[in-house]
Amino acid sequence: MQLLVEILLLPIIGAVTITTFKGLMPKKLPGIWASVLVGISFLLSIMADVHLGQLAVSHRMVTGTLWTWISGFGPSIGFRLYLDPLAGIWLLVITGVGMLIHIYSIGYMHDDPGEARYFSYLNFFIFAMLLLVLAGNLIVLLIGWALVGLASYFLIGFWYQRPSAVRAAKKAFVMNTVGDVGILLGLALLYVHYHSVGYGHLFTIFSHAAPGSAFFEWTAFLLYVGAMAKSAQFPLHMWLADAMEGPTPVSALIHAATMVTAGVYLMARLYPLLRLAPDVHYLVGAIGAFTAIFAASIAIFQQDIKKVLAYSTLSQLGYMFLAIGVGGFMAGVFHFMTHAFFKALLFLAAGSVIHALQGEQDLSHMGGLVKKMPWTTFAFLAGTLAISGIPPFSGYFSKEAILGQAYNSGHWLLWAVGVLTAGLTAFYMFRLFFLTFFGAPRDAHLHEHAHEAPWVMTVPVVILGVLATIGGFFKGWLGNWLAPTFSAYPGASHAAFESGPLFGTVITVGLAIIAIILAYWLFLRKHLAPRAGIARGFGRHAYQAWDMDAAWTWIAVNPFKTIGDWVRPVEQGMLSFINGVASAVWLWATDLRPLQTGYVRRYALSIMVGLGALLAYYLIRV
Amino acid sequence: MLVVWLLAVALAGSLITLFMPQQSAKVAAGIIGAIIIGVYVALLMHPGQGVNVRWIPAWGIRFHLGSDGLSLFLLGLTVVMTEIAILASKAEWGRTYYFWILFLEFGSLGLFSALDLFLFYIFWEVVLIPIFFLLTSWSGPKGRRAAMKWLIMNLFGSLFMLIGIVAVAVIHTQPAGPLTFEISQLVNIHMDARVTPWVFAAFFLAFAIKAPLWPFHGWMPDAYGEAPAPVTGLLAGVMSKAGIYGFLRIMLPLFFPEFVQYQTGLLILAVIGLVYGAFMALRQTDMKMVTAYASLSHLGMIALGIFSLTRVGILGATFQMVAHGLMVGGLFIILGLLEQRTGSRDIAAMHGLNASAPRMAAYFLFFALATLGLPGLPGFVGEYLIIQGLVAHEVVFAVIAVIVLVMAAWYMLRVFQGIMQGPDKGQKILDLKAGQVWWIVPLAGLVLLLGVWPNGITAHAVPSLYHAVHLLAAKGGGV
């Protein structure tokens, strides 16, 4: 328990000290200080997990209440922490990948005037994310849930003088608030019925309940809305593409590796509830599969290196939800882990490219960087192979686990969508890879000045490259580690890893290889420009992300503004009525003014004197 | 006894400032405010019996002051916000200004501690006066009009309340009760079903105007807009709670069956205010007006909690009164500083001020986040409890309430970003001075504490809250 508190406290101490003393700190200190604190947090997380592993399998959890959060209307709700194997995995990834990205940021942000502010936000994010996964009940989870949203808001809008960044930050915050209130309603419903929001208590009740009642469907749906917003599932996904306005390491940490997977965490955490809500459970998988292929179709046509990666994140999150939907909870968690490695790697490598090209993100200014940045190219290739699902890279294993489970559980449609998306993924990722690093440089001037990133940035990238390559071999260990979590309550009968049919693997990998060859042929042989295909038809709409922004503006934003404009005249009418009355009284009062003002003063005076005398009397008497 | 000292120090202090030299009135008022906080802390540690003696025996009126869980934290809100209002005011506003501020504090403290209905009425009227003069003499160009509207609407309401009070007392004497204004005794009244709706309406009108609840907010925009920032802070932070407090202290115990009877209508009224305020806030271009209508919306939310007639909803409303007072009070005072420094209230006229005033931006954002209900800060606690109270039986209202929470994020960030962020167009303002940070940090700390540890209030408020609304349990108002 004490260890958990220390893990939580270190990053928030960092955020507070950096904010308070940033004026006094030498220029490089905030970055180092922030990284060291997260590093210690990482070591303590390993210790906590080791401790957890030594407990008996049937009691593999550490839990405790720090203080009573609220009481007085029913059973009290405590500020409760909870560590089990599921939270333990997230703990390691948050602090481990978080530490690497902190270190990388020292190099990436070194000439930004807001460097100290950046690191205080980053530390604050780590704190909030740890609170989210270490929460012992839904209230504490919701607090962490909202605070990561706030950290994300800070960091998307980090360059607050850019109007686009400010807009993106607001959009992300408001869309995430939709998710927050979903969780709020869901937990309020659970409290009304079961007088508790704590995991253990609720799950025990769930394990005795019969599935399928409307109450469970609604509760599960509301909590899923929360997951949907945070993990950018269709139709609450647009904020994530815009979130790329933040500094690139932030995109790697928050908008790829950790925060956006909070929805996956929540769904895996709530597996006993999903058993009771079969319709919502299916919906999770269906929307996941749709998000996967939908985002992949957009990624093919993007022009901005970060936008491609953003849509690929959306697509991979879709895979994770697909896994949850078909009951493959472990597969979902496994894909979260490998994705954290390879996607953080891809973003950091892309950050090195952007850094080398003085902030240029447009693919039409890149090309031929392999000679200038060999290490980055090599690392990026590892990440690309991993995300494309080529054996033996990590992504192959986790994607196989998901698709195998989808096939075995009889969700053939979801399986087919997943397989097709795998092919699309390989295509758009290799398009990106070839257009960035190979072919002739499309901007001679930028290419001239490009250079490999400093070691403080390259080393984290290389470490992540190694993890992205070998991460798949953690599968056996992960299966054993997570088993206690998913066997504690009924509802996760297919959670363990299952292998799918051989022909499935052959098709998936085969499609990916064909896609790679196609990308090679189109972009390196035929020298297709990055902008190819976006002029009209399918390409144009996909490039504009299927016009979802306009649709949202039309469906949600404008109606609210219009109603606001209708309310204004109503208010004007009410106010002018009151003004009329006031003026009438004022006119009438002018005739009696001497009397009237005198009256108010005397009124005040007499009350004061009377009360004063009375008070004095009783004070003296007692 | 300490309650009486609280009032006595406030009254004596206000008179002392009146005899201070103009320049040192602010310092004197600040010291007096601090002493009052000291007395309050003593009261917090020894919440005693108060005082209960005969005052006008012929009419059965008693001088009965006391503090319980319902009022204790509202007294705290009053003393804290008054001190902050004093510190945020300008010294050159002179001794009369500080006299009225402290006199307002005296009236508010009396209002929140009176347990005799007639005494309550007197304090109810007492607080009108300082606000009237603060609006006429230290306000913007439309201050006189604002003051007039404040006075007319509130006098109108309290006239009805006076009729209601007399009616209740007289009815209580029949067939054989004594003439009394003790709230705790009037609870046992048996009213004729033909009379009750009128008496209910009389009280309701007075309380709804003071809060204000929609559609009785006609005085609010001008008063909030024109008053100097610290006074707006007190109006929105403290005075608005007087109306809500009236619902809890007087109306719920007296008229519980009527609340059950009219519940749907009352909930609809509250939810209209909630939604209406949010839509108004969304489309305002004046930063003070955004906050004013946001406040109207929040009061709708608090009223929803009360009208849910569940323990948890009423507890949420009680908590939210204190939380909202601190948050909105803080927000208005920061907006006032901003107005002083930019000379404008128009969002479009300000850009990227974060560059020159990062501290001000940070505290602005903090209070804005608290008001929009960010989990971890107290606005969320109250909203959670209120929604918890609504989900059980009134789930439609809960859904509307959470939609408004999303709108709140939208309109608050719109103001913050419009003013503080965006391109730097060369507009420079002075950041918070060290002297200002001195009072703003404790306020922010208090807000943070309430968000992280709301049990500090709820655990204490509950017993007397349920005593005050003891009928709830009998009538089956569950979680």
Does A572 contact B at CB distance below 8 Å? no
On chain B, the residues whose CB falls within 8 A of the CB of A151 are: none
Residue B63 backbone phi and psi in degrees, to 5: -90, 90
Q: For residue B356, give how far its alpha carbon lies from the nearest alpha carbon of chain A (Å).
A: 12
High-pLDDT (> 90) share of chain A, %: 60
Does B399 contact A at CB distance below 8 Å? yes
**What number of other Cβ atoms are within 10 A of residue B23's Cβ?**
11
Say how many CA atoms lie within 13 Å of B150 toward its Cβ. 30
The three-class DSSP label of residue A78 is strand
Rounded-to-integer distance, Cα B268 and Cα A332, Å:
45
Q: Do A579 and B149 touch (CB under 8 A)?
A: yes
Rounded-to-integer distance, Cα B218 and Cα A22, Å:
47
Q: For residue B261, give how far its alpha carbon lies from the nearest alpha carbon of chain A (Å).
A: 23
Is the pLDDT at A622 greater than 50? The verdict is no
- Return the HEC string of A329-383: HHHHHHHHHHHHHHHHHHHHHHHHHHHHCCCCCEHHHCCCCCCCCHHHHHHHHHH
Does B299 contact A at CB distance below 8 Å? no
Q: Which residues pair with A65 in a beta bridge?
A: A80
Lowest mean pLDDT among A307-316, A596-605, B311-320, B406-415: A596-605
Q: For residue A293, give how far its alpha carbon lies from the nearest alpha carbon of chain B (Å).
A: 29
Rounded-to-integer distance, Cα A516 and Cα B383, Å:
53
Tokens (6 digits) for A62: 């550490």
Over residues B308-335, mean pLDDT? 91
The three-class DSSP label of residue A586 is helix
Is the pLDDT at B232 greater than 70? The verdict is yes
Determine contact, residues A362/A307, Cβ cutoff 8 Å: no
Q: Do A192 and B407 touch (CB under 8 A)?
A: no
Q: Which of B7, B312, B403 faces A74 most closely, judged by CB atoms?
A: B312
Task: State residue A500's pLDDT score.
Answer: 83
How far are the Cα atoms of A285, A309, B323 from residue B371, in angstroms, in the given order?
A: 36, 35, 9
H or E segment and range at residue A202:
helix A199-206
The three-class DSSP label of residue A135 is strand
Rounded-to-integer distance, Cα A228 and Cα A234, Å:
7
**Between A and B, how many residue pairs show a Cβ–Cβ distance under 8 A?**
187
Query: Burial of A359 by CB count in 10 Å (0-12 exposed, 13-18 middle, 19+ buried)?
Result: exposed
Q: Do A69 and B410 touch (CB under 8 A)?
A: no
Over residues B91-115, mean pLDDT? 93
Is the pLDDT at A602 greater than 70? The verdict is no
The stretches of A389-526 forming alpha helices (DSSP H) are: 394-408, 412-437, 444-449, 455-470, 475-487, 502-520
Q: Kindly provide the ipTM of the predicted complex, given to two decimals.
A: 0.92
Give the best residue of A152, A615, A620 to mutate against chain B (max B CB count within 10 A): A615
Q: Do B51 and A169 touch (CB under 8 A)?
A: no
Q: For residue B438, give how far its alpha carbon lies from the nearest alpha carbon of chain A (Å).
A: 14
Distance of alpha carbon A144 from the chain centroid: 12
Say how many CA atoms lie within 13 Å of A586 toward its Cβ. 14
Q: Chain B window 68-97: which residues touch A at a Cβ cutoff of 8 Å?
A: none
Give just the sign of the alpha carbon dihedral A551, A557, A561, A562: positive
Average pLDDT of chain A is 89
Q: What is the pLDDT of residues A382-435, one digit of tens each?
A: 999 999 999 889 999 999 999 999 999 888 999 999 999 999 999 999 999 999
pLDDT band at A151 (very low <50, low <70, confident <90, very high): very high
Task: State residue A600's pLDDT score.
Answer: 54
On chain B, the residues whose CB falls within 8 A of the CB of A607 are: 122, 125-126
Q: Do B479 and A192 touch (CB under 8 A)?
A: yes
Q: Do B388 and A574 touch (CB under 8 A)?
A: no
Q: Rounded to a whole number, what is the largest CA-CA distance in chain A?
A: 103
Tokens (6 digits) for B16: 């002392």
Q: Do B392 and A574 touch (CB under 8 A)?
A: no
Q: For residue A491, give how far its alpha carbon lies from the nearest alpha carbon of chain B (Å).
A: 27
Over residues B336-359, mean pLDDT? 86
Rounded-to-integer distance, Cα B113 and Cα B115, Å:
6
Over residues A259-272, mean pLDDT? 94
On chain B, the residues whose CB falls within 8 A of the CB of A163 are: 422-423
Residue A64 backbone phi and psi in degrees, to 5: -175, 155
Q: Which DSSP category does A523 fall into?
A: I
- Return the HEC string of A39-64: HHHHHHHHHHHHHHHHCCHHHCCEEE
Is the pLDDT at A92 greater than 90? The verdict is yes
Is the pLDDT at B470 greater than 50? The verdict is yes
Q: Do A73 and B479 touch (CB under 8 A)?
A: yes
- Return the HEC string of chain B: CHHHHHHHHHHHHHHHHHCCCHHHHHHHHHHHHHHHHHHHHHHHHCCCCCEEEEEEHHHCEEEEECCCHHHHHHHHHHHHHHHHHHHHCCHHHHHHHHHHHHHHHHHHHHHHHECEHHHHHHHHHHCHHHHHHHHHHCCCCCHHHHHHHHHHHHHHHHHHHHHHHHHHHHHHCCCCCCCCCEHHHHCCCCCCCCCHHHHHHHHHHHHHHHCCCCCCCCCHHHHHHHCCHHHHHHHHHHHHHHHHHHHHHHHHHHHHHHHHHHHHHHHHHHHHHHHHHHHHHHHCCEHHHHHHHHHHHHHHHHHHHHHCCCHHHHHHHHHHHHHHHHHHHHHHHHHHHHHHHHCCCEHHHCCCHHHCCHHHHHHHHHHHHHHCCCCCCHHHHHHHHHHHHHHCCCHHHHHHHHHHHHHHHHHHHHHHHHHHCCCCCCCCCCCCCHHHHHHHHHHHHHHHHHHHCCHHHHHHHHHHHHHHCCHHHHCCCCC
Task: State residue B242's pLDDT score.
Answer: 93
pLDDT band at A612 (very low <50, low <70, confident <90, very high): low
Does A74 contact B at CB distance below 8 Å? yes
Rounded-to-integer distance, Cα B38 and Cα B15, Å:
19
* A622 → chain B, closest CA residue: B1
Average pLDDT of chain B is 88
Q: Chain B window 40-59: which residues touch A at a Cβ cutoff of 8 Å?
A: 51, 53, 55
Residue with tokens 């509830």: A273
How far are the Cα atoms of A1, A163, B233 from residue A47, in angstroms, in the given order?
A: 12, 44, 50
Does A587 contact B at CB distance below 8 Å? no
Task: State residue A608's pLDDT score.
Answer: 61
pTM, to two decimals: 0.92
How far are the Cα atoms of A5, B83, B136, B153, B163 from residue A587, in angstroms, in the given order?
A: 67, 37, 16, 16, 27
Does B371 contact A at CB distance below 8 Å? no
Is the pLDDT at B462 greater than 80? The verdict is no
pLDDT band at B477 (very low <50, low <70, confident <90, very high): very low
C-alpha gyration radius of chain A: 28
Rounded-to-integer distance, Cα B229 and Cα B334, Å:
8
Q: What is the pLDDT of residues A53-77, one digit of tens each?
A: 998 888 888 999 999 999 888 888 9
Does A181 contact B at CB distance below 8 Å? yes
Residues making up chain A, counted from first to last: 622
* B398 → chain A, closest CA residue: A185
Give the best residue of A70, A132, A222, A225 to mutate against chain B (max B CB count within 10 A): A70
Q: Which DSSP category does A612 fall into?
A: H
Q: Do B352 and A616 touch (CB under 8 A)?
A: no
Determine contact, residues B76/B62, Cβ cutoff 8 Å: no
Determine contact, residues A566/B280, Cβ cutoff 8 Å: no
Give the best residue of A130, A197, A571 to mutate against chain B (max B CB count within 10 A): A571
| Phi-psi label, residue A491: left if phi above 0, alpha if psi -120 to 50, beta otherwise | left
Q: Do B145 and A577 touch (CB under 8 A)?
A: no
On chain A, the residues whose CB falls within 8 A of the CB of B11 are: 608, 611-612, 615
Distance of alpha carbon B362 from the chain centroid: 25
Over residues A513-536, mean pLDDT? 86
Rounded-to-integer distance, Cα A290 and Cα A541, Å:
17
* B122 → chain A, closest CA residue: A607
On chain A, the residues whose CB falls within 8 A of the CB of B7 are: 615
Rounded-to-integer distance, Cα B91 and Cα B85, Å:
12
Distance of alpha carbon B215 from the chain centroid: 18
Residue with tokens 């990436």: A108
Q: For residue B301, give how far its alpha carbon lies from the nearest alpha carbon of chain A (Å).
A: 15
Task: State residue B469's pLDDT score.
Answer: 63
Is the pLDDT at A618 greater than 90? The verdict is no
Give just the sign of the alpha carbon dihedral A128, A133, A136, A137: positive
How far are the Cα atoms of A448, B10, B113 from residue B168, in angstroms, in the given order?
A: 89, 31, 20
Determine contact, residues A468/A342, Cβ cutoff 8 Å: yes
Tokens (6 digits) for A258: 């950790």
Give the best residue of B131, B310, B406, B411 to mutate against chain A (max A CB count within 10 A): B406
Q: Do A188 and B398 touch (CB under 8 A)?
A: yes
Give the best residue of A76, A225, A578, A587 to mutate against chain B (max B CB count within 10 A): A578
Rounded-to-integer distance, Cα A374 and Cα A380, Å:
10
Task: State residue A81's pLDDT score.
Answer: 94
How far does chain B reach from its first CA to its final CA, in angstroms? 35
On chain A, the residues whose CB falls within 8 A of the CB of B391 are: 185, 188-189, 192
pLDDT band at B479 (very low <50, low <70, confident <90, very high): very low
Over residues B301-320, mean pLDDT? 91
Q: Which DSSP category does A198 fall into?
A: B
In sequence order, the 6+-apart residues with CB closer than 8 A to the CB of B435 are none
Query: Burial of B459 by CB count in 10 Å (0-12 exposed, 13-18 middle, 19+ buried)?
Result: middle
Give the best residue of B458, B462, B466, B472 to mutate against chain A (max A CB count within 10 A): B458
Closest CA to A353 of A256, A272, A441, A426: A441
Is the bond preceding B175 in cis, omega lying within 30 degrees of 0?
yes
Distance of alpha carbon A6 from the chain centroid: 24
Crossing angle between the packed helical segments B434-452 and B69-88, to the nearest 10 degrees: 160
Q: Which DSSP category does A453 fall into?
A: P
How far does chain A reach from its first CA to its final CA, in angstroms? 53
Q: Do A161 and B4 touch (CB under 8 A)?
A: no
In sequence order, the 6+-apart residues with CB closer than 8 A to the CB of A50 are none
Q: Do B55 and A185 touch (CB under 8 A)?
A: no
pLDDT band at A592 (very low <50, low <70, confident <90, very high): low
Q: Which of B5, B279, B422 faces A563 most closely, judged by CB atoms?
A: B279
High-pLDDT (> 90) share of chain B, %: 49
Q: Which DSSP category does A497 fall into?
A: -
